[in-house]
Structure 1
Amino acid sequence: MDGNSFDFTAIRGIQAGSAYYVIMVPLKTVPRLFTFDDESMPPDLRAQRILNKARIPAIAGYIVDNPSDYILSSLCASIDGEIVFEPVETEGPLRRVGKLRIDMGATILINDGQHRRAAIEEAIRERPALGDETISVVVFADHGLKRSQQMFADLNMHAVRPTKSIKLLYNHRDALAGLSRDLVAAIPLLRDFTSFDRTSLSNREVKFFTLSSVHQATAELIGKKKAGKIDKKDLAFAIEFWTAVIQEMPDWQRIGTRDVTAFEMRRDYIHAHGVAVQAIASAGAQLIAARPDNWKEWLARLREIDWSRRNRALWDNRALVAGKLNKSKNNIILITNVIMRAFELPLSAEGQRVEDLYSPGALPLKVAS
């Protein structure tokens, strides 16, 4: 190599009989060191997916907004060009540590992490001080387009997104997620029967709620989204509301006393599913706004609703489609409408619009069978 090279401290490893290297790259160097395939090229001539530019601002914002505790996973790249590894020692444990020299004329192509690379570039424009920080890069020698495409497929083959519940459990930046965790911890039924790592519950699952459904419902109740500010009054209000709801839901109480299993309840009742929990919160928020002084008295009307899945006249196409529970936004609204009629409250404009689409004409006030 003639001296026109990029030099990095590196660790050498072996996978599938071939050498690879882990290097540390300053963030300010990432945009000019790593390239993309031309998006105008057909997919069979690229080694990556097309960049989804809509994802970039969120990742960049995460880096910029959390300068003291952001974390970025390694990039993975292939080098098409001359590379030389010079170990610190030829024998012993340090033989795998040394200097990796990459020819400046080499093409370094990202196999995994193109959105992180683009977000880093945007973040540095907003906060230049980040440029001297580093990201780890796993580097492989380029063995042609076919191998690069296979690397992309292999790297993404077994990727599994974490469930929404587990993300809420571990997210300590989101104040609303924190409120949801505190809410679950404060109410015995929620504490004992909420799944923290699942978004949907299987037949064998002994838990009755999911953290994600409690979170979505509580966000609906207090009218706040992820970016909203949360205070102690919000938590106290959420605890008061859900405690009152549980008092008016005898079937839920039977879960707490273990007189019935969570599976049996999910099998037989609409209220045992997240869509109904969210609908109760939505209707509850409207009830409290309309009757702030005696909303708890009206909440007792939850007992008058026939929540049984056997009540097909009420729930078919409203909550059930071909006998299976549907979880669309419109189904949540349609269930909310049932509860609003039980509360003897007019439907919201959106509730009426969806109701008219579902079944033109008024929903009967009497909703129990």
Structure 2
Amino acid sequence: MGTQGLPQQGADTTTAGFEYIFPGIRGVQAGREYYVSMCPLRLIPKIFLFDEDELAPEVRAQRVLNKGRVPGLARYILDNPDDYVFSALTASVDGAMRFVGVSDQGPGMRVGRLHIPMASRFLINDGQHRRAAIEAALKENPALGDETIAVVFFQDAGLARSQQMFADLNRHAVRPARSIGVLYDHRDELSQITRLLALRSPVFRGFVEMESSTLSARSRRLFTLSALYSATSALLQGIDLNSTEGAQDVSGAFWEAIDELIPDWREVRNRTLAAAEVRKQYLHTHGIALHALGLLGNTLLRESIDPEEWKPRLAPIRNVDWSRTNPEWEGRAIIGGRVSKNHQNVVLTVNHLRQQLGLELSAEEQQAEDAYQRGER
């Protein structure tokens, strides 16, 4: 006997009929039926399971939950209750699902109610981090429980099939380039600042790649939006400027000051040098150099945000040899002839710039510098 009184959203979870009833739509993929429904968030932690961490990989149907990702996802929901977006969960059900259409023929056969025994096991094939984030968010804000998330239900056909589903669902998943993430993120203040720099600053306007995080050999751009974002983040970190406009003004002034000290950038804008040749021959357009310049600027801004004080101190940057053939970059920003932007290389690159300005190194920077000088690269 089925449960009675199906709510308008989600599933009726009374135990009178020992089954869940979900409003649903029936579809077919690869000859197998599947169902799409809406599930109240309050039910997600209760009925959807993921494999235990201690199981060996060969007997799990998905990757181990990365618990470090969960707080950020939960915070995203809690901080944006009016406009968060979560895509559908995908789950396998090991019980005997029964679909009852609103009619026996025509389009009504595909719309109806999905009956699932309460004794069934719901195993998430895709979305275990979203599930864990929903559970964490509900603990802080139970009112979210009446909202819904789409769920795609498949019949559980055993471990091998579940593992194959996980592999297939993730096989062609491509993380979007970081640049386009910055371009489209209207919630992050730093993304807004970076976009405005790229679109309005005389230094960057028309010379920033807005979508891709890499530049092709023939690109006419000098910088990527993601590199500018990282560099501006380093520049403004820990600087209290009270407003987005203030941060925009300071960052714009800083990059204009740097532009005055690197003539190659201006020559590309004036079409006297080709962007591709500049990127090929010099380091100053690469992400590691921008990041190091941002860190250098951060040190000066922490002492004073008055341009009359920090701008003159940047003057030695004009004398830096940014040529990729400069042996001083080998082991700092360049490894085996290739630009490298891991943490250690960023530290060693900013060390070189600090030395040009006569600035002291932090304990971490000095340790990295000592190792570099000993040849421990």
TM-score (norm: length of structure 1): 0.91
Distance 1:283 1:40, change over 3 A: closer
In structure 2, the gaps of 5 or more residues are 3-16
**Higher mean Cα deviation, 123-132 or 287-296?**
287-296
SS in 2 for 1:191: coil
CA–CA separation in structure 2 for the residues paired with 1:29 and 1:326? 47
TM-score (norm: length of structure 2): 0.89
**Higher mean Cα deviation, 123-132 or 228-237?**
228-237
* Residue of 249, 257, 260 corresponding to 2:270: 257
Q: Does 1:286 align with 2:299?
A: yes
Q: Which residue of structure 1 lines up, in the alignment, with residue 19 of structure 2?
A: 5
Distance 1:289 1:21, change over 3 A: closer
Q: Does 1:237 align with 2:250?
A: yes
Q: Which residue of structure 1 lines up, in the alignment, with residue 181 of structure 2?
A: 167
Tell me how far 1:235 sits from its aligned partner. 1.0
* Residue of 102, 106, 110 corresponding to 2:124: 110
What CA RMSD, in Å, does the superposition of the two structures yield over aligned residues?
Answer: 2.2
Tell me how far 1:289 sits from its aligned partner. 5.0
Q: How does 1:132-147 map to 2 (within 5 A)?
A: 132-147=146-161
For residues 255-277 of structure 1, the C-alpha deviation after alignment (integer angstroms, 9 at most, x for no partner) is: 21222222211211111211111
CA–CA separation in structure 2 for the residues paired with 1:288 and 1:84? 65
Counterpart amino acid of residue 332 in structure 1: V
CA–CA separation in structure 2 for the residues paired with 1:20 and 1:222? 50
* Residue of 45, 56, 64 corresponding to 2:59: 45
Tell me how far 1:284 sits from its aligned partner. 2.6
Q: How does 1:263-342 map to 2 (within 5 A)?
A: 263-288=276-301, 293-312=308-327, 314-342=328-356
Distance 1:333 1:84, change over 3 A: same
Aligned residue-pair number = 359
CA–CA separation in structure 2 for the residues paired with 1:346 and 1:138? 58
* Residue of 202, 210, 220 corresponding to 2:216: 202
In structure 1, the gaps of 5 or more residues are 362-369
CA–CA separation in structure 2 for the residues paired with 1:305 and 1:318? 14
Counterpart amino acid of residue 330 in structure 1: Q
For residues 159-204 of structure 1, the C-alpha deviation after alignment (integer angstroms, 9 at most, x for no partner) is: 1111221111111221111111122222133120111212222313
SS in 1 for 2:129: helix
Q: Which residue of structure 1 lines up, in the alignment, with residue 359 of structure 2?
A: 345
Instruction: Note if contact 2:156-2:162 (Cα within 8 Å) is conserved in structure 1.
Output: yes
Q: Which residue of structure 1 lines up, in the alignment, with residue 79 of structure 2?
A: 65
CA–CA separation in structure 2 for the residues paired with 1:132 and 1:290? 50
Tell me how far 1:229 sits from its aligned partner. 6.6
Counterpart amino acid of residue 301 in structure 1: P
For residues 35-68 of structure 1, the C-alpha deviation after alignment (integer angstroms, 9 at most, x for no partner) is: 2223332221221211222221111111112111
Counterpart amino acid of residue 126 in structure 2: D
**Higher mean Cα deviation, 59-68 or 339-348?**
339-348
Instruction: Note if contact 2:351-2:361 (Cα within 8 Å) is conserved in structure 1.
Output: yes
Instruction: Note if contact 1:179-1:230 (Cα within 8 Å) is conserved in structure 2.
Output: no
Tell me how far 1:24 sits from its aligned partner. 0.7
Q: Which residue of structure 1 lines up, in the alignment, with residue 9 of structure 2?
A: none
**Higher mean Cα deviation, 204-213 or 132-141?**
204-213
**Higher mean Cα deviation, 75-84 or 39-48?**
39-48
Q: Which residue of structure 1 lines up, in the alignment, with residue 14 of structure 2?
A: none
Instruction: Note if contact 2:177-2:212 (Cα within 8 Å) is conserved in structure 1.
Output: yes
Counterpart amino acid of residue 128 in structure 2: Q
Q: Does 1:27 align with 2:62?
A: no
CA–CA separation in structure 1 for the residues paired with 2:196 and 2:372? 37
Instruction: Note if contact 1:47-1:111 (Cα within 8 Å) is conserved in structure 2.
Output: yes
Instruction: Note if contact 1:79-1:141 (Cα within 8 Å) is conserved in structure 2.
Output: yes
CA–CA separation in structure 2 for the residues paired with 1:59 and 1:295? 39
